[in-house]
Chain A
Amino acid sequence: MNIIVCAKQVVDVSEMKVDSSTKKPILQGVPQKISDIDKNAMEEAIKIKDKHGGKITVLTVGPADAKERIKELLAMGADEGILIPYPDKYDYHVVSTLLTEAIKKIGEYDIILCGEASIDLFSGQIGPRLAGLLGIPQITYAQSVNAEKDKITADRNMGDKSVTTESTYPVLITVTKEINEPRLPSLMQILGAANKPINDWTVESLADGLNPKIDAVELNGIPMERKNIIYKDNVDESVKNLVDSLAKEGVLR
């Protein structure tokens, strides 16, 4: 079974701070990591490989330092990594086209696994775009997967219902956070990952004249205008003050 896992390096949003005057997020100096749900995709790939054998290739479009992050996935159990640098300008159209061309260059694949979305921007576009460009079925929001020799079944979390879908190969699957608990590699595995290859593929070798269809204009902060009246002394007094305030606000009717 040849499995390709698409993984993205993102800022760790839980470590992000907001500039108190502009309310804009501060992106510099925030630790980077592999998007959490992409690790779930990686874990699922390992489970499938354990059952059926084969090869796992990690595919990333990202900055040069993403290599360090790809190593974590190699330590978890991927066999090989491929890093494509970000072009000067990019959007989901550009990134998905690069990934698609890279997948075609890899050639043989049965399953492409992605997270349902990356935790930084949470668009969820890459999976469906890849499936569309490759012209293969997509099974999104998978919360459990059962890979058999010539077909795969997945339970999809659709919120108010669960949909069980089956597909032949090749297929693209996006997984949710609930599907598994990504393993922590052992020290031996971490050391072993150093010997696994990470190949650099250039943008030019994959696509010509790629231009984004969407231009980023600006990133704005979200103003949170609240009264911030905090009672911290005697509990009985605080409760009384709060109830009086709520009554005045007209929400106790």
Chain B
Amino acid sequence: MVLVFSDDKKLTLEMLSKGSELAKELGKKLTAVVIGKNDDALAKEYIAHGADKVFVAETDIESFKAEEYTELLESIIKETGAETVLIGSNKNGKELAPRLASRLNTGCVTDCTNLYFKDKKLTTERIVYSGNAIAVEQFNSKPQIATIPSKVFDPLPKDDKHTGDVVKKKFDVEKSASKILKIQEMKSEGVNVEDAEIIVSCGRGFKNKDDIKLVDDLAEILKGRTVGCSRPIAADLKWLAEEHWIGLSGHKVKPKLYIAAGISGQIQHIAGMRDSGVIVAINKDPEALIFKSADYGIVGDLYEILPKLTNAVKEKMG
């Protein structure tokens, strides 16, 4: 059996798509796990998106704790005999999966960008060395646990005719010695670089915080209105909030147009934007790494180029 779990619904739907492909190849069933209260609408949605079964683990756990979720999933995996387990690679999933693997004495691969059978073995691909390489690995024992980041797979179209069972079971979990004291939402400007169609980004080539206006202006004209940045701007100088940060440790983006101004093109930054449609680089250093990753580039002073580019785009778009 193939088992899928995430506390993020969108991510679960994406994993169900890959999960159903793997289950078909194995000739096995696909089960989605829901932890917490029974939610019939959610179970129905998972079934319509490919689940053959929804396993609802009813508990009185209020917030996610890796220790308690591990114990729950360990019981469910043992009870269902699941051999392939896909876990959503959000922050909760990434601390849950390895702990679960250790309890089951088994293998785990995190952040898989691809997953397939080769020589009948589950084979994974993930990006390593700051986005410089893809490690291809294979499981040699079961259960096999893989975590999958969001937006790697597309959910299956909704099929209301697809049927499945809903199984509910109550669980008493031994409480962890840790205690959650406070959960605080981080301040947000409502920027979502991950969904943006056009992004204009700034980097260390900018001399002052106020100069970011040059990027703002271009983004505004391009109707993308989304400003991104590289690590120094968000993490070191803090000129922009972390939600603008694009890169390996920041956000991973896939816009149709990505303009990088004053960004040298460190591999960590490239790892966050390499899947963009068209990439444009503006940098005064003709040797800057960013040009190797760009479709189009202008070598020159961004302080001169950006205002001219903004005007030229304005004219072109009418």
Using a CB–CB distance below 8 Å, which chain A residues touch chain B?
Answer: 11, 13-14, 16, 18, 24-25, 91-93, 96, 119-133, 136-141, 153, 158-168, 171, 177-178, 212-222, 224, 226-232, 235-236, 238-240, 242-247, 249, 251-253
Contact = CB atoms under 8 A, between A and B. Distances in A.
A226 B265 CA distance: 14
Given A92-B107, A125-B110, A166-B180, 7 more contacts: A122-B130, A178-B235, A214-B138, A220-B134, A224-B292, A231-B297, A235-B304
Interface stretch (B12-20, B160-168, B209-217, B273-281): B273-281
A25 B137 contact: no
Contact of B141 (A125, A168, A213, A249): A213
B102 A133 contact: yes
Contacts of A224: 270, 274, 292-293
A119 B129 CA distance: 7
Contact of A221 (B66, B133, B295): B133
A212 B107 contact: yes
Interface string B175-188: 01111111111101
Contact of A124 (B94, B235, B296): B94
Nearest to B242: A159
Contacts of B183: 161-164
| Chain B interface, DSSP helix/strand/loop, else mixed | mixed
Given A224-B293, A243-B312, A163 B298 contact: no
Interface string B234-264: 0100000000000011000000110000000
A141 B298 contact: no
A148 to B, nearest CB: 13
A235 B300 contact: yes
Contacts of B102: 93, 96, 128-133
Contacts of A215: 137-140
B263 to A, nearest CB: 15
B199 to A, nearest CB: 11
A236 B296 CA distance: 15
| Chain A interface, DSSP helix/strand/loop, else mixed | mixed
Interface in B44-102: 66-67, 70, 91-92, 94-102
A143 to B, nearest CB: 11
Given A132-B102, A230-B297, A238-B300, A24 B133 contact: yes
29 contacts: A11-B129, A13-B267, A14-B130, A91-B107, A96-B98, A125-B108, A128-B99, A132-B98, A138-B66, A140-B91, A153-B181, A161-B185, A165-B180, A165-B181, A166-B180, A212-B140, A214-B138, A214-B139, A217-B123, A220-B135, A220-B136, A228-B297, A235-B305, A239-B308, A239-B309, A242-B280, A242-B309, A251-B277, A252-B313
Nearest to B286: A232
Contacts of A161: 183-186
A222 B137 contact: no
B155 to A, nearest CB: 22
A13 B129 contact: yes
Contacts of A126: 98
Nearest to B176: A137
Contacts of A18: 132
A136 B257 CA distance: 47
A136 B139 CA distance: 27
Nearest to A240: B312
Contacts of A213: 106-107, 139-141, 144
Contacts of A123: 98, 109-111
Given A18-B132, A158-B91, A229 B317 contact: no
Of residues A138, A162, A167, which shows the largest number of chain B Cβ atoms within 10 Å of its Cβ? Answer: A138
Nearest to B311: A239
Given A214-B107, A224-B293, A226-B279, A25 B133 contact: yes
Contact of A93 (B105, B131, B184, B257): B105
Given A138-B67, A138-B95, A219 B308 contact: no
B168 to A, nearest CB: 27
A217 B141 CA distance: 15
Contact of B316 (A158, A219, A243): A243
B179 to A, nearest CB: 5
Interface in B218-243: 222, 235
B318 to A, nearest CB: 10
B101 A229 contact: no
A166 B181 contact: yes
B128 interface: yes
A36 to B, nearest CB: 11
Contacts of B101: 92-93, 125, 129, 132
A229 B298 CA distance: 9
In order of increasing CB-CB distance, the 10 nearest A-B pairs are A213-B107, A132-B102, A125-B98, A132-B99, A232-B299, A137-B178, A129-B102, A128-B99, A167-B178, A164-B182
